[in-house]
Amino acid sequence: MPKNKLPRKSTFIDMTAMCDVAFLLLTFFMLATKFKPDEPVIVVTPSSISQVKLPPNAILLTIDKTGKTFFSYDNKEGKKIMITEMNNTKNLGLSADEIEDFVVGASYGGSLAELKGYLNLEGFDQKKYEFSGIPVNKTDASMDNNELVYWVQSARYAGASIGAAPRISIKADSKTPYPKIKEVITSMTKNKIDRFNLITSAEAIPPGTAAFEESMSTASN
């Protein structure tokens, strides 16, 4: 090498540090991401122009197009208190593992009598399980004789015990027969539960309507 020339610097870039960062980020997202359990039923909701979002800490009653009713409660702490109390009160015979499976699971749409059998199924068999719907008594809205009311009231009491009283939302398919929806609503109102959200799919507000003018006025302010 000529004495008047300096050694050429290497153009190789050490990628070790970048690989470490990428691996750490991937690990973080894998551990931190919470996947929502698959719902046992698909519901196509009717559309509306309402902009109100589903509140957190909610009891969700889903009614499919055949009229079957499903129950879910998105507060895991309250849900565990609820199912533990139900297990003791109704002698469901659930083990600690079965209670935990229920807490982290999705909606449930069967009777109390079949709950233990459902929780004993493997994951794939649970997804294929054909629910009959939570029983709704048309003539008796008491907790003792109407299982849907028992689920809802148990969740409300559990939530209230931890200072997080849940709101109730009803989600029905656009093809659900109205009498089936009425049965659920009547069961609630007979227990002095007259405040709940009806879930719909959002659509654009038609121009020229009072709702459109109100939304434009709110946006300008």
Lookup result for tokens 């009614």: 63
Q: How far apart are CA 194 and CA 171, in angstroms?
A: 16
pLDDT at site 197? 82
pLDDT tens for 167-185 read 898 888 888 889 999 999 9
SS3 84: helix
Q: What is the mean pLDDT of residues 119-148?
A: 92
pLDDT tens for 185-221 read 999 999 999 888 877 654 444 454 444 455 455 555 5
pLDDT at site 206? 47
Looking at 30-44, 109-123, 147-161, 205-219, which range is the least confident one? 205-219
What does DSSP assign to residue 135?
A: -
pTM: 0.71
By the 8 A CB rule, do 52 and 182 touch?
no
